[in-house]
């Protein structure tokens, strides 16, 4: 088989890139190790920056998000028993959109199917080859046979544990990493959200987040030790602990119900440099990970796609390599700023094992300053709604 761009990974990065390329008449094939339903079973991000919303619309897959996505003009920061609103819209001119990654992925998959895009699911052992020559190709196994896709470029959209970054480990790549000493226990439940906007809560017992997927579906998170397991947390224990970490007036309004998903995600900051190796590009989580506190992971995947799509469009349309040459530098400049923001939100809001009562007071003082200083609130809001591409 031959294509122009072979895309490894059918998560949000691979699907968004594939659709933008297809719309521009650039042929592409997407490969994924697992199947559609497995991918749609992963509960992940929930907050979209305006740039991500715009890209989904540009891809032609934005109709349902436009109709069902919840536009949020602000977020709440809770600490020391109180909560304060950061007015994102008035501070930056931009809101965020609450729309689940599962739904965004489903919309992109459906649109790809409707427009005749090629996706090969359950493709095992996908491997990029010869990406430092003029004739790169990808091999994969399916139904007991090894297949080969000849291409011009390979987009590594295969997430943090994928094969693409692993393939270039001995080619001068630098990895920058910080592991946090806790994880997030997330719960999804068909109950109305406790508040119409998100609440990020710092408390002496650890961080909590009140998020949502719709007016009838809530998503809540608790900071937990890495030694905890999701199975050991009953729903009742989760709701009890959440009530203790959020302000009393919010806890009183909390509606609880049976969980439909419960899982623990470790928190990590990671950036690989560079993101290009000949004709192989690393995109999204394949090249970087942020802790979820700033809601940046999916949005960074989208900005990577934007830069790479522009580069590939320039290559095929104007025979210019300037855009693909600039990809790694442009993407990394934005990635590092979002990594800084995610790290600082994580540091500000979580309980660290060694920080003690002094550390708690310092966090509360910083939060108090943040919510009462227009300049500091604006800096947070600018980063939260997304820095310009
Ligand atoms: P994905 O979504 O991991 O998709 C990668 C795809 O590649 C496939 N794959 C392979 N295919 C072929 N061969 C191989 N060898 C392969 N290895 C892997 C996988 O099956 C998969 O289908 O990466 P992508 O597309 O770059 O998208 C990134 C986002 O998924 C991620 O950044 C976000 O989910 C992060 N994130 C959040 N981001 C936000 O912007 N806002 C949020 O509110 C937010 N909340 C979150 C999050 C991530 C979380 N977890 C669980 C990590 C909340 C959580 C709890
Ligand atoms: C989510 O709803 O899953 C979510 C929202 C905001 C975050 C992280 C996750 O910062």
14-27 pLDDT, tens digit per residue, is: 999 999 999 999 99
Record the pTM: 0.97
Cis bond upstream, residue 274 (ω within 30): yes
Q: What is the pLDDT of residue 44?
A: 86
Q: Tokens at residue 10, please?
A: 């059918």
3-state helix, strand, coil in the chain (%, to 5): 40, 30, 30
Q: What is the pLDDT of residues 100-111, one digit of tens each?
A: 999 999 999 999
Q: What is the pLDDT of residues 256-284, one digit of tens each?
A: 999 999 999 999 999 999 999 999 999 99
Ligand 2 pocket by Cβ (under 6 Å): 45-47, 198, 211, 219, 292-293, 295
Take atom 23 of ligand 1 and give the residue whose Cα is closest: 159
Q: What is the pLDDT of residue 137?
A: 98
Q: Which ligand is nearest to the CA of 308?
A: 1
3-class secondary structure, 240: helix
Q: What is the pLDDT of residues 337-361, one digit of tens each?
A: 999 999 999 999 999 999 999 999 9
User: Binning pLDDT at 50, 70 and 90, where does residue 371 land?
Assistant: very high
Strand partners, 156: 8, 282
Q: Which residues are the active-site residues?
A: 72, 200, 292, 296, 384
pLDDT at 42 > cutoff 90: no
Closest ligand 1 atom, residue 14 Cα: 25
Q: What is the pLDDT of residue 95?
A: 98
Q: How far is the CA of 46 from the centre of ligand 2 (A)?
A: 5
Q: Tokens at residue 364, please?
A: 């509360």
Q: What is the pLDDT of residue 174?
A: 97
Q: What is the pLDDT of residue 258?
A: 98
Q: Tokens at residue 218, please?
A: 């809530």
Mean pLDDT, the chain, as a whole number?
A: 97
Homologous superfamily of the 5-70+96-177+268-345 domain (CATH): FAD/NAD(P)-binding domain (3.50.50.60)
- Report percent pLDDT > 90 for the chain: 98
């Amino acid at each position: 088989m031959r294509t122009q761009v072979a895309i490894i990974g059918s998560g949000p990065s691979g699907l968004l890139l594939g659709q933008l390329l297809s719309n521009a008449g650039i042929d592409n094939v997407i490969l994924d190790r697992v199947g559609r339903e497995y991918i749609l079973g992963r509960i992940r991000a929930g907050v979209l920056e305006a740039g991500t919303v715009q890209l989904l619309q540009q891809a032609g897959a934005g109709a349902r998000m436009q109709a069902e996505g919840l536009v949020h003009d602000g977020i709440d920061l809770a600490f020391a028993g109180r909560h304060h609103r950061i007015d994102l819209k008035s501070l930056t001119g931009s809101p965020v959109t609450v729309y689940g990654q599962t739904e965004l992925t489903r919309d992109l998959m459906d649109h790809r199917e409707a427009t005749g895009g090629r996706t090969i699911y359950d493709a095992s052992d996908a491997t990029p080859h010869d990406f430092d020559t003029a004739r790169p190709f990808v091999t994969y196994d399916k139904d007991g046979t090894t297949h080969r896709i000849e291409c011009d470029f390979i987009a590594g959209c295969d997430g943090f544990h994928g094969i693409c970054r692993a393939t270039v480990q001995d080619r001068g790549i630098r990895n920058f990493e910080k592991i946090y000493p806790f994880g997030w226990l997330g719960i999804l439940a068909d109950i109305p959200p406790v508040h119409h906007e998100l609440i990020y809560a710092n408390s002496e017992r650890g961080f909590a987040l009140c998020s949502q997927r719709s007016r009838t579906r809530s998503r809540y998170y608790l900071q937990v030790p890495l030694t905890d397991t999701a199975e050991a947390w009953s729903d009742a224990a989760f709701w009890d602990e959440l009530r203790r970490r959020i302000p009393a007036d919010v806890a009183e309004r909390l509606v609880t119900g049976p969980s439909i998903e419960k899982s623990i995600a470790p928190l990590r900051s990671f950036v690989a440099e560079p993101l290009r190796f000949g004709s192989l590009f690393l995109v999204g989580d394949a090249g970087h990970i942020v802790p979820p506190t700033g809601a940046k992971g999916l949005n960074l995947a989208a900005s990577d796609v934007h830069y790479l799509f522009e580069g590939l469009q320039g290559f095929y349309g104007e025979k210019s390599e300037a855009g693909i040459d600039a990809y790694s530098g442009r993407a990394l400049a934005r990635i590092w700023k979002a990594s800084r923001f995610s790290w600082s939100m994580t540091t500000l809001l979580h309980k660290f094992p060694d920080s003690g009562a002094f550390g708690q007071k310092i966090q509360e003082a910083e939060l108090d300053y943040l919510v009462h200083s227009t300049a500091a609130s604006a800096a947070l809001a600018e980063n939260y709604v997304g820095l310009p591409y």
